[in-house]
Structure 1
Amino acid sequence: MHRVADRRIKIAAARANFLRFGHAETQSVPGPVAASWQRSVSAGVDAASSHAVFHSDLDLTGRLMRCSAPVIARLSEEMAEMPLSIVLTDYRARILSRSETDKTIGTLLDEVSLAPGFNYAEASVGTNGIGTVLESGQSLYIVGPEHFLEHLQPFACAGSPIRDPLTGRVEGVLDISCLSEDSSPLMHSLVRSAAREIERNLLVDRSQRQQALFEAYVRVDARTRGAVMAIGGTVVMGNAVAQSLFSPDEQWTIHEHARYLMIAPGQPVDEIELSSGKVVQIRGKRVVVGPDVAGVVVVVDILSEPAPVPASRLTLPPLREQRVTEPAPGGVAASSAVLRDVSSLLGKRASSSIVTAITAGAALLVLGEAGGGKVSLLAEVYGQIVPLGRKVVFRADELNERGLHSIMDTDLVTGDARPTLYIFRNFDRLSETVAAELDAFLVIREATAASGGIAATVSQPDLQADLAAARPYTTLLHHFETSVTVAPLRHRIEDLPDIVTRVLARRAGLRPATVSAGAMRVISRYPWPGNIRQLEEALDTALRTRPVGAIQAEDLPAYCHGGAPRLLSALEAGERDLIVGALHKADGNRMRAAESLGIARSSLYRKLKSFGIRVTDS
């Protein structure tokens, strides 16, 4: 007992010398504590007056809280005879919960703000059993004078990091605090053991999703004779039929489309054409565990296969596909050969659907995330199938300010009689007045069978919510005969090389500018939450750094390198897409986006950083 008291006296003396002179003899001070004192001084912490800062945006319903609750409850019950407090924090040292076995210790901890909502990061309150644990990445036992702040001297605390067993990332800290005179080195062992138990719960929580996906896969496979696949997170499964019917490349295409269907609105059912020419139907069932989608189980049926090539043609040299540019009657080119040079399945589908609609003269509604290139795609495809036509784009903000008729009259005064595609951009932002004017205009066009076409773009629609809110544009939907969804750029990664080439050609003009292989790798790994608009901004930045020549990876903006440092699992990609969608609907307002997602702002901020999402204006 005397040795413990002597040790604390020596540490107190070493601390006093450190605060006075900036350095001290630290042979009696544990290495992590001495290093923490130095960091505290460097961070500007005042040992006499600094205090914890309060935060209200805590994630109190997440996995960490859920997996920690039974461990903390058991620990509180087992330690009921000892006056202590059990504290759980998030990865930023913000206190999520506090359970005490004695009212007195609770009152004393309230006085030093060791309470839910307060931030005990080392940079704010100096050396302590929470922030220093996060800084050092190891469990620690901090007693009395080892604390940096004066008002924490009466306490002892043992803290241990809580790591996600799969990612290895620190999710938070478990801390046991009490008065120094009631402390025991056994607290250190106790808190480490409890933290490991929480980590096991985190592992079980993740395993439950994989187990649920596996069980769903087994059930579907047992009653299906065809090809069955299961996709979720890092798990991909397929039965023997799937392995025999589809090549590895075809399986990869099906897997990627299944990941898209897993997070897309509506039922996960679709028909797609594979690179081999096979047309398959995918019928999926999402597997849900609690509030999360664990994955999707799909049944894949072959609807048609390409006709065999006649033997007489096998010796002929390969023919390159010819693009038809000679317009048919009315200025419309044959539609079968004007598809854009796209590689992705979703990109080909969008282009093909637009070609079909424009060729048929159908009023077209184009949906997709902001910045996804909807207007550019419409204009390009129209220019290909109607080479003699023109495109006129009307922006919603301009229409709302000036009115439809004034802008339309100005356009018609030119007397240009060429076939015209009228594109109404940000259709969902029209005012009631303009919506009424546009309704009358469309009625007249339909009655007179006017030449040309009508298309409108809508960003991230939530049709049910918009109909319930009676937004002006919903009164015009009956004028449109078909709709097309342009998938976000992150689901069209195969198209990136072509898109980058096109964007760079427009931005660089006559300058000889290209993209190096290293830069393209960075571009391909970034999720581009702002879609093509953000890609344009990134290439503009790179061109300012390197006006001519091959753009290098270091020329790209920092956020391109700071995105998700790994390929995201399907579950993570789905979560990222939900967040991007919520941000678009909230016009970039993080608070409203967090509320719509049902998570705390702190959780949203963490996910934005983890997924490399940069909020951009829509």
Structure 2
Amino acid sequence: MAYQIDTRDGLARLRRAREEFLTERRLPDDLPEWLSAAWRRSWFTGADVTRDHVPAVPVAPESQLVRAATPVLAGLAEDLSGLRAAVVLSDSHARIVGCWAGDEPMRAHLERIDTRPGADLSEGTTGANGISHVLSTREPVLIGGPEHLFELYQDTVCAGAPVTDPITRRISGAIAVVCDLSAPLAVLDALARTASRTIERELLHAAPARERRLLETYLAAAPGREAVAVLDGRTRIVSDAAADLLSPQDLDTLESYAVEAARDGRAPSGELTLGDRLTVRLAPAAPGGLLVTVTAARPPRRRAGPGLFAAAGLAGSSPPWRSLERALTRARSRPVLLLGEPGVGKASVARALLGEPVVVEADEPVEAVARALAGDAVLVRHLERLDPARAGRLADLLAGEHAAHVVATMVPGPALAPLRTRWAPAEIRVPSLRERTADIPELANRFGARLTHEARAVLQRHDWPGNLAELKAVISGAAAEAGGGTIGARHLPGRLRSSPTRPRLSELEKAERAAVAEALRTADGNRVRAAAQLGIGRATLYRKLKRYGLG
């Protein structure tokens, strides 16, 4: 394959791809999907891939996982001494809880890559690696050399495998067989998988008798794909089929029955209806547990029709555009204020929500707006043209007694404050074109044009200050230049083809900037709440605010 780490050409291509991603945030089209996803995750978490050490955190020196794994991995490390490989164990949070090396060269290698008990190998600190990738995907992986973004790992190969709790089937941690690029790679993956299965057997043997008996009950009740669960208030074993049918609320309800059974020494039996027509059968499960079998599932959901935007003929499938569609769908019956730059398509989005509304301009006489509100659906355009006083009067009118479904549009400005306090609509931001440049080929097609790969790249590098109106004008002129054929880069205006004079955001950066800006908006500027919404730390958020000029 083109990106194999055990060939000279593959390594060279990976190094070029890594450098391009780190400097320009661009990913080759033929880069393996799993690696593209891993690099994106690493980048979004803000990992500092240039640091020369791995941050450390306190870890428990003794745990059930460490006790079960130590004899297995210590023996494996001795067997691997001739292959110049070491073994590493992490907990479920990617924190190293054990390292084993059978010879001095491998101990030195672990020291060079700063791998020791307590080292934090999560994606937020070291990017994608054989531990963090396994814990993110629950799948084994062989990752090496420039497949790591972290600079310290450029000469390291890691075969990782998950260690799963044999009772609950939750991830307990991960193991990794570690070596340098000169070691033979063919057997590493098999060794890691075999070691993880051996540790899982040791965990089962070390499990309390209560948990083993619950597992025996579960295995006897679910030999195939039956929808079965066993609970006792402390341990929960749920088959995949049951997990597809039982909601978290359903499982919490059953857990309460199991707790009561353990307390009273008597498990309920018979049938129970949960939620919307989901029937389960309850039976005792020794010792003091509850066996749950789903006997009648909810009827399948009807196949959904076309989405809001597809039904309205609006083009786009990028994450910001899909996020907008979901927000509008949730707010269907509420008054909505669409915010966005000029030319982003706010009126078209409003019509997708309203159908065929009565359209009025915000600066028309109040009487005209009042007459429009006698209808079923009203689109009020250009609220940014109002001064705060007139915006307040209009907000009072919109908040008054009428039956119309109202959607208003505006470019954010001073008139926004009274609308928020007096009318209080659902505020939804329409993304700019530079935030959704992945949609440009689809938009060009909607405008009746086809693009070459080179033309698409040029268009996606542009900032589009004029948004959709500018794109439509560019596509129209380029189509005329191409004589109705496929548009190439040479048919585009020279101002678009020239090298940019300042760094431009990649597609990933545009999407992230939009996500950060939206989180700040919904959190009313509160950075602590915005960081929590994004699932990142405050320090990471501050770096991104500075990078994107949002601070």
TM-score (norm 2): 0.38
Larger Rg: 1
Question: Whose RCO is larger (CA < 8 A, sep 6+)?
Answer: 1
